[in-house]
Chain A
Amino acid sequence: AQSVTQLGSHVSVSEGALVLLRCNYSSSVPPYLFWYVQYPNQGLQLLLKYTSAATLVKGINGFEAEFKKSETSFHLTKPSAHMSDAAEYFCAVSMDSNYQLIWGAGTKLIIKP
C-alpha cells in the first residue's frame, strides 16, 4: 500500500528565507510524485511532478523538489520565500499513470514579514 507523510503540519519562515517542506512516501512500485498548493477557499494547483525522468524537478513559482529513492523522499524547496507563498502544500503519490492519488495531510506554510 502506498502512503505519504508530510513532516510538520505548520512551517513558519521569514520572507526571503529558504523554504523546505518535507515529504516521505512509501510505495511498492516506482512512484509518481506530486506537489500541489491550495490557497484559502480554492482548489488544488499543481506545483510540480516527478514521473521517473530527472530526479530534480523544477516547478512553478520558483519551487523545486528532488526525488531521493534511497531516502524515499520528495522534499519541496524554494530559495527565497515570498509573502504570496503563504498557503497549504500537499504532497501526493500515485502508483501508475492516471491512478488515484494518495495524499499527505498537508503543511501550512506561514511567511513572516
Chain B
Amino acid sequence: DAGVTQSPTHLIKTRGQQVTLRCSPKSGHDTVSWYQQALGQGPQFIFQYYEEEERQRGNFPDRFSGHQFPNYSSELNVNALLLGDSALYLCASSLMDRTPNYGYTFGSGTRLTVV
C-alpha cells in the first residue's frame, strides 16, 4: 500500500519563475493538505483540498495556488518565486471524516531552492 508520493524530490528555480509540485495521496485518502517547512522551523499550513475545492487556507499570498484532481491527487503552484520560498514542501493526505482517529500521512516532501 503506497503512502503519499511527492514529485519531484528536489528542484532548483530562479527568482521570478513558476513551479508546480505534485502529490499523490495514500490509497483510500480523499483530502490533501500542503505545508511549507522552512529550514529549522515547523511546517506552516498553506491550504487543504477536498472534493476538488480549496477548503481551508493559511496565511499565504495568492502566488500560492493549488488544484485537486478527480483521482484525489493534487498540485501546488507557486508563481513569481522569491528567495524566501525556498523550503521543504510537504503534502499530507487524510480521510475527511476520520482524521482525528487516523491522523495525517505525510510524504517525504519536495525540497525547493530558489536562486
Interface range, A side: 20 to 34
Interface string of B71-115 (1 = CB under 8 A from A): 000000000000000000010101011111101111111000000
| Interface contact A46-B104, CB-CB below 8 Å | yes
Contacts A43-B4, A43-B107, A44-B106 known; A101 to B43 CB distance under 8 Å?
Answer: yes
Residues 72-113 of A, flagged 1 when their CB comes within 8 A of B and 0 if not, give: 000000000000000000101000011111111110000000
Chain B contacts for A49, CB-based, 8 A: 100, 103
**Please, which residue of chain A has its CB at the minimum distance from the CB of B55?**
A98
Given contacts A98-B94, A103-B43, contact A43 B106 (CB under 8 A): yes
Q: Is the CB of B108 within 8 A of A43?
A: yes
Report yes or no: A51 in contact with B101, Cβ–Cβ below 8 A: yes
Who on chain B is nearest to A106 by CB? B42
Contacts of A105 on B, CB cut-off 8 Å? 40-42
A90 to B56 alpha-carbon distance, docked (Å):
22
Residue B68, interface by CB 8 Å = no
Q: Which of B42, B45, B56 contacts A104 (CB 8 A)?
A: B42
B111 CB to closest chain A CB (Å) equals 8
Interchain CA distance A4-B45 in the complex, whole Å: 14
Cβ-based interface call for A70 (8 A): no
**Cα(A106)–Cα(B103), bound, Å:** 18
A-contacting residues, B20-55, CB 8 Å: 31, 33, 35, 40-45, 48
**Alpha-carbon distance between A102 and B96 when the two chains are bound, in angstroms:** 18
Q: How far is the CA of A92 from the CA of B43 in the complex (A)?
A: 10
Q: Is the CB of A32 within 8 A of B106?
A: no
A97 with B58: in contact, given A43-B108, A90-B42, A103-B44 (CB under 8 Å)?
no
On A, residues with C-beta under 8 Å from B are 4, 32, 34, 36, 41-46, 49, 51, 90, 92, 97-106
A-B contacts, 8 listed (Cβ < 8 Å):
A43-B108, A43-B109, A44-B43, A49-B100, A97-B97, A98-B97, A100-B33, A101-B104
